[in-house]
Structure 1
Amino acid sequence: MLSDIEPLRILQFELARLAGSFVALVPNLVAALVVLVLTWALARYGWRGEARLLRRWHQRPALIAAARTLTRSLIWISGLAVTAVLVFPGMSATNVVAGLGVGSLVVGLAFKDIFENYLAGLLILLRRPMKIGDDILCEGIEGQVERINIRDTYLRRRSGELVLVPNAFIYRNPTTVLTDQPLRRITLELGVAYGTDLEQARSVLCEALEGLSTVDASRKTEVFCLGFGDSSIDFVLRWWTGSTPVEELRSRDEVARAVRRALDTAGIDIPFPQRTLSFLEPVPLEGTHGDQR
């Protein structure tokens, strides 16, 4: 009989101990619930002041969205860490920080490329090296910027294709912003025959650049003699025009046609490639059977 009562007393004792532990834990559970509610409210509404500040600084919408995501993530991580300490009294803040550090390391290694693009996107949005509508060139990829996200940049090629370029790729490699300034200097090389009067050729080329609609008259045009080529004396022409690729092509077309007309009018030839062959020994003009070759 006593053997039947003893397990019952042990069970009652354990239940009473669990009930006491739960009652002792109720304040912590209430505090944890309050922390979760405050975390939710802060994550939902607390970032609005940050968004207003970023808008006041005229920051891009993509940067505002990235800042909102980052702020919400930090708020929730902090709130959940405090909640874990309240619900599990044996867990210290040091253990939570250590766990977060190990977890961050694992996540960082697993999603290295994503975080790299995310950080590069933040830097691009903050530094603003380019804007929507700019034409850029990066490691052979050329196009007009249509959209800048936190992870990638949308480039529209002139042939119509859309290219999604990771922000880390743009940030790591040299990137040329073709339309950073409204004007860009264009270079065209050509050659004239060796018998040409060089002063006359320079004068003709300078006059050919005057009065063209695509050549900016406020900037100086330049004509230089580069040197002696294989079959011509080479010149380089430099002028300023609009910075977009379309404006560059139109200007090259107009300048090339104007230069050709001016040289033809002046009687100056643009020679074809020529080669001079020298033989160490005389070459017979007759065949072995006496036939004229």
Structure 2
Amino acid sequence: MSRPRNPFPLVLWLLLLLITPLWAQTGVDQDQRATSQLREAYRQVDGLRDITLEVRGGVAVLRGDVPSLEASLKAEELAQKVDGVLTVDNGLRIESKVTERLSPVLSKLRQKVQTFITYLPLLGVAVITFLLFLALGKSATRWGGLYRRLSSNVFIQDLLRQIAYFVCLAAGLLLALEILDATALVGAVLGTAGVLGVAIGFAFQDLAENSLASILLSLRQPFSPNDHVVIDGHEGKVVRLTSRATVLLTLDGNHLRIPNASVFKATILNYSKNPERRFRFTVGVDTEEDLTFARELALRTLQESTGVMSDPPPQCLVVELGDSTVNLDVVGWVDQREAEYLKVKSEAIRRVKESFDEAGILMPEPIYKVRMEQTEPARRPAKKHPVAPSKEVVDISPETHLEQRILEERVSEEQDLLSAAARLE
């Protein structure tokens, strides 16, 4: 008896015959859907509308002309994003005709012109807003009474004017950008301004330091106009304080400008703060002279000299015993409001020298003595009785030439931050 055949292979063969056409139909439908989807996408992009395309077995075949390489890459990128496309056969050609290349450019230009025309009303409103704030800023610089009430310092008043102007200018610019819906540009402008401010701060560090020093010097003035000062080794009389430099008139009549940053950090010697000023000079007398007599003669001469103050009284001190002289330090005081310092000192030196000469007090140059044995000592000349100092009239009045020059300089329209209302240190 024969065994029955297994029907499973026959059934499997029949199923494969039925399913294969269905798979093929499914692949064709997927290619058609991908082709339709990609064609619809190309219609929405300028320069890609004329592309011939077909998707076969998951391969997107692109043919035709495009205006630029960028358009070709864009078409390939879109094709790769469509479901059912495994790879792209990019056979697109770059258009070389001038008219075809210019066509998309002109199209974009027309769109931009139309957009600009649409924005013209908003642009007009933004410009008017900015101009209004600009006019407000210029008007704010003329509110002199307000700034004078806030500060009596001229430099601070000018600084407040500038701050008010730039605040109005910045507010107008930001509001105009907001009207144009350029908020991203506002952020970019603020960020750029911050970075630029830091860069400018480093680049102009010395200028910023000088400006800050000008503000501090104008608020707490270490000197007044016409003060006789020595700043960082430079001597002269103060003419004015500007926003950049302190102007001195040297004793030789020359203008000297010292940066305010240097003035702020410098050691300042002010001879005019205290009108009483001391002068001193050294006189060397012979080692064999009577020092008590020489000191008394120098003091009496100073007391009788015109311009030397009696209170504080003059002094004469023995300060050094040298090889050939004994040095006397002669000190006196001058009231600079009534007498010229240099004239009084000059006259005091002259009178002491004449008094010593008339009294026979030797004031030798540096010498060396040679002792000779078995010789008679040289005879010194007889002492003369001191003669009363002469009553010669000497001009010791204060010097007014520099003061007159300073008054003429201060009449000019150049900026001056020195104010009588400011606090003096």
The normalised TM-score by structure 1 is 0.75
Structure 1 residue 29 displacement after superposition: 5.1
- Residue 170 of structure 2 aligns with an amino acid whose one-letter code is A
Q: Which residue of 1 aligns with 2:234?
A: 141
Structure 1 residue 10 displacement after superposition: 9.8
Distance 1:96 1:223, change over 3 A: farther
Structure 1 residue 27 displacement after superposition: 5.8
SS in 2 for 1:179: coil
2:137 and 2:166 in contact (8 A); partners too: no
2:286 and 2:362 in contact (8 A); partners too: yes
C-alpha distance in 2 between matches for 1:243 and 1:137: 16
Q: Which moved more, 1:143-152 or 1:10-19?
A: 10-19
Distance 1:276 1:108, change over 3 A: farther
1:201 and 1:268 in contact (8 A); partners too: yes
Q: 2:246 aligns with which of 148, 153, 170?
A: 153
C-alpha distance in 2 between matches for 1:152 and 1:11: 55
- Residue 83 of structure 1 aligns with an amino acid whose one-letter code is G
Question: Per-residue CA shift, 1:152-180, capped at 9, x if unaligned?
Answer: 22222222222222222222222212222
Q: 1:88 aligns with which of 177, 194, 208?
A: 177
Q: Which residue of 2 aligns with 1:40?
A: 138
Structure 1 residue 19 displacement after superposition: 5.9
Question: Per-residue CA shift, 1:126-185, capped at 9, x if unaligned?
Answer: 211111111222233222222221112222222222222222222222221222221211
Distance 1:14 1:268, change over 3 A: closer
Q: Which residue of 2 aligns with 1:285?
A: none
Give aligned pairs, total: 263
Distance 1:266 1:93, change over 3 A: farther
Q: 1:73 aligns with which of 159, 162, 181?
A: 162
Q: Which moved more, 1:185-194 or 1:262-271?
A: 262-271
Gaps of 5+ in 1: 279-293
C-alpha distance in 1 between matches for 2:261 and 2:282: 36
Question: Per-residue CA shift, 1:28-50, capped at 9, x if unaligned?
Answer: 5554443333222223x234321
Q: Which residue of 2 aligns with 1:248?
A: 341
C-alpha distance in 1 between matches for 2:284 and 2:329: 9
Q: 2:299 aligns with which of 192, 206, 216?
A: 206
Residue 199 (structure 2) pairs with residue 106 (structure 1): yes
C-alpha distance in 2 between matches for 1:38 and 1:17: 31
C-alpha distance in 1 between matches for 2:108 and 2:324: 109
C-alpha distance in 1 between matches for 2:240 and 2:116: 59
Structure 1 residue 26 displacement after superposition: 6.3
C-alpha distance in 2 between matches for 1:116 and 1:268: 59
Distance 1:10 1:162, change over 3 A: closer
Q: Which has the larger radius of gyration?
A: 2
The normalised TM-score by structure 2 is 0.54
Q: Which moved more, 1:25-34 or 1:115-124?
A: 25-34
Distance 1:92 1:185, change over 3 A: farther
Structure 1 residue 97 displacement after superposition: 4.8
Distance 1:98 1:180, change over 3 A: farther
Gaps of 5+ in 2: 1-49, 51-103, 372-425
Q: Which residue of 2 aligns with 1:281?
A: none
Residue 278 (structure 2) pairs with residue 180 (structure 1): no
Aligned Cα RMSD in Å? Answer: 3.2
C-alpha distance in 1 between matches for 2:330 and 2:236: 26
C-alpha distance in 2 between matches for 1:126 and 1:277: 67
- Residue 161 of structure 2 aligns with an amino acid whose one-letter code is R
Question: Per-residue CA shift, 1:240-260, capped at 9, x if unaligned?
Answer: 11448x822211211111211
1:224 and 1:237 in contact (8 A); partners too: yes
Structure 1 residue 99 displacement after superposition: 3.5
Q: Which residue of 1 aligns with 2:312?
A: 219
C-alpha distance in 2 between matches for 1:15 and 1:249: 82
Distance 1:48 1:267, change over 3 A: same
Q: Which residue of 1 aligns with 2:350?
A: 257
C-alpha distance in 2 between matches for 1:254 and 1:15: 90
Distance 1:274 1:15, change over 3 A: closer
SS in 2 for 1:121: helix
C-alpha distance in 1 between matches for 2:108 and 2:197: 44
- Residue 129 of structure 1 aligns with an amino acid whose one-letter code is P
